[in-house]
């Protein structure tokens, strides 16, 4: 029996770290990046012979780079959507550019606000760029301790027993041929829901999610692009989307453990570019799994799954490692609404020691070209008596049409070439120019020779009708893909800096121009020396009030300013967050006190009492001007005038009352502007009979 174990302490993600940065600019269409202005970082890179760092956040997919570059109609869940080439968050305003160095910072950035909900992230359509630095781990608490599977299970009580839920009890209660049900299954579902709140994160529309450097890593989490369009995910290592509470399905091929989480999944989403990422099982590879009920106790689902009517996806230059059910395109045979959807291009990806699904397809027109499929001793070690770890690479499912061109395959057992293709209810598949262990092999003929339902090479579509593409010669595919695929290959970052920006110093000019602290002033930010910023954001009392893009030339100084207007009397604390793809810094807080925003107090005078032509005059000799004057006689408004402001010049308003009846009168005036009102001292006027 398996004993549930806590997730272990995670070591540095060395299997996913690339020791060098190789330029594959031409292959991924980064020509626009090369037009960036020169900077010290660019010049240094040129002298050293390495590629300069590129701001991947502003890049878009190149023309004709597969289905994600295509324009036209798509119908996720049969609802029409007009697709355009994928641009992600490249149009993000400075306020919507983020750096995430923790799991919570990533969640906040995707939601668009601190502690936002999953629905905030899922339905957010504001263009956003999120740079990921370092390792993001949802299991790591803010105090440095780690949440474990047992911590989650302990929060769930099994109905009728009063005992906390345990996977040991779950395993003991069921077995081969028995589908779980009752209180234990209900408790497992509750525990799984708790884990989902911790580790599952939705990504909405118009997002670019990009890792910076060669060690940007999301570990132990599941990212889901859901109900979205126009999304880019690049230069990230995503590993070990670990499921603490997998479900036993006794009716799945004789019984199987099914897990809930993919490292990356695409649900009901369109126009998605997944490029230069590394996917794997991290600390829990297939070889480490226990056997329960005679089947591997599977704690992972797919590495990348594209399902629920998703469409127009390009997967390019990714490295998918050491995983069984790696990549499925299409949810189930029964989802007939997915007809015409699931159009996916996969090119220059590296598939190392996978068991199956490279990919398996339902309904879609899928183009698979210039990929490398390689096996090492790990494929052999993953097999056991009666169970062969390697099943197939290309799975032709219901109503699918796969076009496979110029792919390189390296097999431990050359005889398994007949298993490169598998039939799952499909009727057609084209496979041309497939290099198997250095020789061109007709892998479709090899499959058809023993197939109960052979596949036809006459496919219903031609990729060249959708987009132009050029094949890498198949003899060069293995070397090209090994050199260029995976995270950490692109020289990511920014050409204006090699590290996080220095901290800016804030100053202000409140009161300098007129001597008045009238609520209109400028906050100036200076970075005297150091790594430059590409974006600065100014916060006032914790609220974002301004954001700007910055041109940089590290280590030269940077300066910018924010004009503040219309503040009422009070105290305002300012803080500047400076960021570039490498990280962010915060300035010291600057406090500005506003004392003179409302109009100064006017002085009232009276004339013409003896001549029977009474005039009230309000004089504002110096101070903040008013935009309105109201005169009251014995508490009743008798005059209202709009005033022209010219602070700090004097202001005057007059009201002619004519002759007043004998008696005593009290007059006062209220002067107002957008910041407030002041009341003049009253004057008393006596008219004798």
Task: Report which of 445, 438, 420, 443 is spatially closest to residue 474, judged by C-alpha positions.
Answer: 438
Rounded Cα distance between 307 and 335, Å, is: 10
Task: Report which of 581, 557, 586 is spatially closest to residue 497, judged by C-alpha positions.
Answer: 581
Compute, in degrees rounded to 10, the torsion defined by CA atoms 39, 41, 46, 52: -100
Q: Return all residues near 465 (Cβ < 8 A) that are at least 6 apart.
A: none
Rounded Cα distance between 174 and 500, Å, is: 53
Cross-strand pairs, 97: 129
Rounded to 5 degrees, what are φ and ψ at 420? -60, -35
Q: Return all residues near 487 (Cβ < 8 A) that are at least 6 apart.
A: 16, 18, 211, 214, 216, 235, 236, 237, 276, 277, 278, 319
Rounded Cα distance between 274 and 264, Å, is: 10
The answer, yes or no, to whether the previous bond of 276 is cis (omega within 30 of 0) is no
Q: Return all residues near 478 (Cβ < 8 A) that are at least 6 apart.
A: 372, 374, 408, 410, 435
Rounded Cα distance between 453 and 51, Å, is: 50
Q: Return all residues near 619 (Cβ < 8 A) that are at least 6 apart.
A: 602, 603, 604, 605, 650, 651, 652
Task: Report which of 407, 402, 397, 395 is spatially closest to residue 355, judged by C-alpha positions.
Answer: 395
Rounded Cα distance between 127 and 162, Å, is: 48
Residue tagged active-site, from 357, 360, 398, 517: 357
Q: Return all residues near 294 (Cβ < 8 A) that are at least 6 apart.
A: 176, 255
Asked about 335 being catalytic, the answer comes back as no
Name residue, tokens 């760092």. 53
Rounded Cα distance between 133 and 660, Å, is: 78
H/E stretch holding 673 reads strand 663-673
Rounded Cα distance between 419 and 450, Å, is: 10
* Sign, CA torsion 649/655/659/661: negative
Active site residues: 357
């Amino acid at each position: 029996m398996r004993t549930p174990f806590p997730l272990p302490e995670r070591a540095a993600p060395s299997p996913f770290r690339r020791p060098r940065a190789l330029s594959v600019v031409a292959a991924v269409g980064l020509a626009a990046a090369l037009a960036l202005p020169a900077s010290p970082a660019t010049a240094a890179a040129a002298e050293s012979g390495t590629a300069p760092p590129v701001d991947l956040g502003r890049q878009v997919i190149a023309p004709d780079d597969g289905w994600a570059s295509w324009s036209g109609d798509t119908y996720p869940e049969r609802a029409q959507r007009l697709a355009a080439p994928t641009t992600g968050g490249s149009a993000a305003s400075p306020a919507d550019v983020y750096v995430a160095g923790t799991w919570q910072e990533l969640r906040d950035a995707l939601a668009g606000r601190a502690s936002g909900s999953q629905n905030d992230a899922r339905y957010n359509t504001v263009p956003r760029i999120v740079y990921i630095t370092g390792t993001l781990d949802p299991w790591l608490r803010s105090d440095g301790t780690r949440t474990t599977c047992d911590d989650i299970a302990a929060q769930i009580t099994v109905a009728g027993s009063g005992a906390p839920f345990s996977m040991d009890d779950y395993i003991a209660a069921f077995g081969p041929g028995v589908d779980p049900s009752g209180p234990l299954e209900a408790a497992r579902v509750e525990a799984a829901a708790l884990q989902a709140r911790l580790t599952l994160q939705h990504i909405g529309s118009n997002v670019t999610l990009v890792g910076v450097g060669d060690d940007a890593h999301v570990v132990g989490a599941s990212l889901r692009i859901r109900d979205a369009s126009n999304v880019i995910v690049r230069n990230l290592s995503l590993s070990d989307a670990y499921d603490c509470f997998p479900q036993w399905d006794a009716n799945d091929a004789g019984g199987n453990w099914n897990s809930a989480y993919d490292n990356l999944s695409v649900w009901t989403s369109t126009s998605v570019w997944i490029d230069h990422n590394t996917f794997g099982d991290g600390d829990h590879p297939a070889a480490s799994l226990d056997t329960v009920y005679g089947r591997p106790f599977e704690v992972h689902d797919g590495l990348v799954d594209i399902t629920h009517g998703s469409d127009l996806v390009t997967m390019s230059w990714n490295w998918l490692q050491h995983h069984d059910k790696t990549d499925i395109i299409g949810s189930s045979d029964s989802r007939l609404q997915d007809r015409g959807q699931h159009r996916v291009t996969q090119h220059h990806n590296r598939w190392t020691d996978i068991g199956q699904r490279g990919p398996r397809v339902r309904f879609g027109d899928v183009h698979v070209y210039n990929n490398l499929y390689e096996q090492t001793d790990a494929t052999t070690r993953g097999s056991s008596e009666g169970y062969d770890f390697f099943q197939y690479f290309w799975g032709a499912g219901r109503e699918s049409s796969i076009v496979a061109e110029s792919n390189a395959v390296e097999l431990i057992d050359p005889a398994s070439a007949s298993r490169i293709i598998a039939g799952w209810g499909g009727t057609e598949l084209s496979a041309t120019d497939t290099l198997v262990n250095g020789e061109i092999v007709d892998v479709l003929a090899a499959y058809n020779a023993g197939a109960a339902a052979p596949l036809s090479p006459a496919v219903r579509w031609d990729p060249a009708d959708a987009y132009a593409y050029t094949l890498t010669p198949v003899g060069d595919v293995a070397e090209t893909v090994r050199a260029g695929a995976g995270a950490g290959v692109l020289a990511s970052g920014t050409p204006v800096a090699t590290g996080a920006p220095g901290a800016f110093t804030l100053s202000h000019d409140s009161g300098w121009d007129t001597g008045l602290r009238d609520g209109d002033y400028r906050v100036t930010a200076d970075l005297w020396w150091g790594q430059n910023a590409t974006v600065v954001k100014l916060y006032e009392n914790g609220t974002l009030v301004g954001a700007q893009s910055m041109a940089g030339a590290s280590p030269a100084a940077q300066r910018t300013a924010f004009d503040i207007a219309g503040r009422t009397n009070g105290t305002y604390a300012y803080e500047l967050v400076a960021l570039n793809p490498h990280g962010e810094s915060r300035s010291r807080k600057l406090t500005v006190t506003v004392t003179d925003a409302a109009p100064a107090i006017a002085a009232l005078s009276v004339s013409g009492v003896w001549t029977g032509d009474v005039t009230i005059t309000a004089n504002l000799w110096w101070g903040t001007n008013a935009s309105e004057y109201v005169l009251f006689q014995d508490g009743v408004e008798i005059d209202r005038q709009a005033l022209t402001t010219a602070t700090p010049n004097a202001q005057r308003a007059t009201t002619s009352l004519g002759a007043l009846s004998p008696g005593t009168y009290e007059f006062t005036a209220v002067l107002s502007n957008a910041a407030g009102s002041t009341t003049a001292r009253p004057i008393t006027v006596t008219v004798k009979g």
